[in-house]
Structure 1
Amino acid sequence: MTAAFPRRCRACGREIREAAAVGWECECGVVVCTDIECFGEFFKQVAAGEGTRCLTCGLVM
């Protein structure tokens, strides 16, 4: 999913000014920064780390 920058981390609200600062993004629009705590609020590792589940929409990536 591509969107114009700047964007904001859904968890902490930090401004994300470039693609490299996006930690994880889901098709449903959830974007978090690279902070591990922000990742944990909206995403979860599943299948022994083989996939990532979005806790907002349930999509496994």
Structure 2
Amino acid sequence: RCDGWVYTYRVFKQKDGLWTIEVAPGMKERLFRNVGNLIAAFKLPDQGISVPLLYPVNRAK
């Protein structure tokens, strides 16, 4: 959340089993062996994923 905006990310699992997120044109794609590593990398400051949503949506049963 930044200046009233909530940023979302598209996470993809590639055919080779590696995980990545959609990046802006010209940005280098980063690959991860598992989702946990991807999340850990983006929890670091200035990486994009900084805080959880204030009111998460629960999955419908």
TM-score by length of 2: 0.33
Which structure shows the higher strand fraction?
A: 1
TM-score by length of 1: 0.33
